[in-house]
Structure 1
Amino acid sequence: MEDNLSTENTIEVPVKEKKTFSTLPKDEWILLIILVASNALCPMSFSSIATFYLAVGTKKGLTISEVGVIFGIFNLLSFFLSPFIGKLITIFGVKKIFYNGVFIIAFGTLAFSLTNLIDNHYGFLAATLTLRLIQSGGSALALTTSFTIISNQFPDLMSSMLGWIEVGSGSGAALGPFLGGIIYEFNGGSYPLPFLIFGSILAIIGVLSVFYIKDFEQKCEEEEMNIEQLTLTKMMKIKDIWFVLITVFSVGVIFYFNSSSLPIAIQSFKLMPSQIGIFYLIVFFCYSVTAPLFGYLIDRYPISNILLVMGNIMFIFYLVIIGPASFLPFKSNLYSTTIALIFLAISGSSLFIPSYSNQKSIVINENGFPDNIRTNGIISAAFTSVFSLGSFIGSVAGTFSVDLIGYRATTSIFLCIESVYFILFIALFIIPRYLKRNYKKHNQIQPAIVKNQSKVAFYTEEA
């Protein structure tokens, strides 16, 4: 009797084969290439000014603080815009949001090539500020949508794909200053050329994305009408989400502080723009090697928290050496700067890559929200938003502080803040989750079967 009941009321759910890189079809490889290329060209288009904008801007009367605003304003609009993009994705679909974002940043980059024709101090400041905002809006649309695409299209390879996306993003941010410096030096200081080259390539990527980016099918509302849907407010009420987002925020702060202030930190070395670009290249190389490696490992082994702890420790080492901290018995030099930047790159990838999968796991696996495009859109939007806020504060507040109290004192302040956060992170995030996991292991019950009208649910008692 029980066997008959079990047969009648239980349905077999087909096991979906997990995707691997070897099983990806051609169209998904093209999609991945477009995502990596766009995530490289977007930051490349705005980071390309890092090695020469300070020199050009000061000739037109800009202060170091005003230059910092130009670097940081890019991320400020992304912070305000990103939370709305999650909603826009559910209305217009990922395809329209993505390719329109790429076209917008291409337009802003191409138009930036004309700003050198403005000699007036405030005119030059206003023009470059406006175009940075346009670039920012396009970048927020494209990059936020990228996270949503990989989350929906490659759920089994999410961290690995994010690693490759970050290779693109990291290469753009690092190669931008290097290539921008080389192109600028071409023909004795060609200001428009970097923007014309990068803007044109972005326009081509935008055209390709029209044909190769596809929208995801939305589940019928009737299927999910009884399921609680995620909202930004509900997500922010989850305690552990705050630690994940603060971690992403700190990566944005330190990385963009380094991006905008590194030329100031090494100006005593009297280097050419292309030589300064080599330091950015060091960050790119180390980040590009470790990001996909960490993504690969996270998809196969439960090491996310180990990487988060390691990343915070290496962040502290970076801040101690790059200053250098007052208790170190040496002054900044080429060797110490190189070592510090290696620590920065590895710490950035070990913090950024596991944070997205952690955020999604906390929302979906631990709090029971549905794994759909709405949920992934909100997760991606929050992730991008806090990173953009950190990037803005790192660029603007960092350079303002350098202008006011000097580079070494500024890095000491960041060092104190990061050290305090690391202690709180261990005490309030890592240790409680470790204890909770061990409690579940020792108090785990056997899975029980709950039958309800030919649906079978397996559950384990939560701690």
Structure 2
Amino acid sequence: MGKYTRQQWLTLIVFAIADFCSAVCVSLQAPFYPMMAESKGATPTQYGFVFGVFELTVFIVSPIYGNYLNKIGPKFMFNAGIFTTATTCIMFGFLDRVNDTTAFIGLSFAIRIVEAMGNSGFLTASFSIIAKEFPENVGATFASLETCFGLGMIVGPTLGGALFELGGYTLPFVTLGGLLICAASLTYCILPSYSNEFKGESHSSGSMLSLIKIPAIAIAAYAIIASSISIGFLQATLEPHLRPLELSPFQLGLMFVLNGATYGLFAPLWGWLCDKVVNPRFVVIFGSVVVMSAFILIGPSPFLPIPTTLPLCIVALVLHGTGFGAELVATFTSAHRDAVAHGFPDDINTYGLVSGMWTSTFALGAFIGPSAAGALFDLIGFPWATVFVVALHLIVGASFSVFMCCSRKKPGSGLYTKIHESLANSDPEKAGLLTGKTGGAFTRSISDSSCVSTTSDSSQEYYVY
């Protein structure tokens, strides 16, 4: 980090503030919106779709943002997105004035859709700028900023629950939405402009479909969907599941903090492991096993003859934060690396495609999660509904394990490091020692469709693995 430029430090600082404030606004409503919706006559299925429509909108618009990021401009998309998220958060706080059930649900849908359009632009632009600014530390940088998001997840439900007890439904949204507006103003003034850097880069010849056709990215996309399903599932059903324990709104807020806090705590570790130590796919497999364990306990699953207790739920939520954090960080790192390794140019257009894919698939799962959770909660109850999430993550672990066993290892397919031509020709063994890679050395030509291409000329590039 000591080698970071002034522009990189500014980018990190404003992203950290923006991620924190955005997470606060996203998470603050989970402890008390279900209660408010039920007081207006809404069912769990209906308010589950209110949570879900946000992510459905992100799923639809993220690929569009990803494809046109170069034309719109990452800074404009980032600032416009975060400002839209803030203003709609404030608007959501006045829904308690609406007493008609249909009008309450309809306005909830409308506001969440607009908020989702802003949030999608903010996320897609931020992921792309990360990949552009920190090409050698994508995983670690992404994970470090996700730590700030995790801290926001801690503050959001806790502060939201406290403000709800203090001043009712409107106060949390107005206060924390105003905080995000301040963050949006800060990013507008401080965030460097990238228009000159990206102006000369042509529109990407690739597409979201061609990206998903890569097998490694396809199973990574499924893992992202399964992971976000688990998050959305708890967002919509954790509060009614914990209702028999008779916790206060502030205590409920603390329960929603647990998985976010654990996620933020371990995210830098997963990023460092993916960048420097192990194949990201191993991290995904580990995360899937931990998430399965969490949902078996939090139900508890029907085949476990144990009652629902507060300590058991706490342990399960901590495990969940650990597991889905490993999955999300590792899949982002893996997808970016695999895209470049399969011939996509290492430029802002590819960053936009990968970011749009990650955001879109995450949103699809986050739509399915609360929507299916509300319906399953109504039909079969919480314990049996958790089996659905367990089965999804069993498929994640199995598919990644089978893929790793069946795929033939190729030079550069794992962790690779680019080296100077003179070092590669004179002493490949020394190059491996200097970079921490021991597999050997290899060269790739730009004309090779399977190469890791970072330049536009026809010269060869040299790597150790």
Asked if TM exceeds 0.5, the reply is: yes
Match of 2:285 in 1: 309
> AA paired with 2:460?
A
Cα distance, 1:445–1:161 mapped onto 2, change above 3 Å: closer
Does the CA contact (< 8 Å) of 2:90 and 2:178 recur in 1?
yes
- 2:275 paired with 1:296: no
Note the C-alpha offset of 1:59. Answer: 1.3
Cα distance, 1:446–1:378 mapped onto 2, change above 3 Å: closer
Cα distance, 1:305–1:275 mapped onto 2, change above 3 Å: same
Q: Structure 1 CA distance, aligned partners of 2:228 and 2:21?
A: 18
Note the C-alpha offset of 1:168. Answer: 2.5
Q: Structure 2 CA distance, aligned partners of 1:39 and 1:412?
A: 32
Matches within 5 A, 1:16-95: 21-95=1-75
> AA paired with 2:178?
S
Note the C-alpha offset of 1:316. Answer: 1.2
Does the CA contact (< 8 Å) of 1:147 and 1:380 recur in 2?
yes
| 326-335 or 98-107: bigger deviation | 326-335
Q: Structure 2 CA distance, aligned partners of 1:448 and 1:348?
A: 35
Q: Structure 2 CA distance, aligned partners of 1:158 and 1:387?
A: 18
RMSD over aligned CA atoms reads: 2.7
| SS of equivalent residue, structure 2 residue 136 | helix
Match of 1:133 in 2: 113
Cα distance, 1:87–1:438 mapped onto 2, change above 3 Å: closer
**CA offsets 1:409-431 (integer angstroms, 9 cap, x no match):** 1012222333244223311x221
Match of 1:13 in 2: none
Gaps of 5+ in 2: 415-436, 447-456
Cα distance, 1:408–1:375 mapped onto 2, change above 3 Å: same
Matches within 5 A, 1:113-128: 113-128=93-108
Matches within 5 A, 1:259-278: 259-278=235-254
Note the C-alpha offset of 1:448. Answer: 9.0
Match of 1:3 in 2: none
- 2:239 paired with 1:236: no
Match of 1:457 in 2: 460
Does the CA contact (< 8 Å) of 1:163 and 1:292 recur in 2?
yes
Match of 1:395 in 2: 370
Cα distance, 1:44–1:160 mapped onto 2, change above 3 Å: same
Does the CA contact (< 8 Å) of 2:153 and 2:261 recur in 1?
no
Match of 1:353 in 2: 329
Cα distance, 1:193–1:371 mapped onto 2, change above 3 Å: same
Note the C-alpha offset of 1:278. Answer: 1.4
| SS of equivalent residue, structure 2 residue 300 | coil
Q: Structure 2 CA distance, aligned partners of 1:66 and 1:111?
A: 20
Does the CA contact (< 8 Å) of 1:175 and 1:280 recur in 2?
no
Aligned pair partner of 2:382 in 387, 407, 412: 407
Give percent identity, aligned residues only.
Answer: 25
Note the C-alpha offset of 1:319. Answer: 1.6
Match of 2:89 in 1: 109
Match of 2:356 in 1: 381
When normalised by structure 1's length, the TM-score is 0.87
Aligned pair partner of 1:326 in 289, 296, 302: 302
Instruction: Give the number of the structure with larger relative contact order, counting CA–CA contacts within 8 Å between residues 6 or more apart.
Output: 1
Cα distance, 1:129–1:43 mapped onto 2, change above 3 Å: farther
Matches within 5 A, 1:2-21: 21=1
When normalised by structure 2's length, the TM-score is 0.86
| SS of equivalent residue, structure 2 residue 460 | strand
Does the CA contact (< 8 Å) of 1:39 and 1:143 recur in 2?
no
Max Rg structure: 1
Note the C-alpha offset of 1:357. Answer: 1.4
Does the CA contact (< 8 Å) of 2:232 and 2:369 recur in 1?
yes
**CA offsets 1:389-443 (integer angstroms, 9 cap, x no match):** 100110111111111110011012222333244223311x221347557999999
Q: Structure 1 CA distance, aligned partners of 2:6 and 2:438?
A: 46
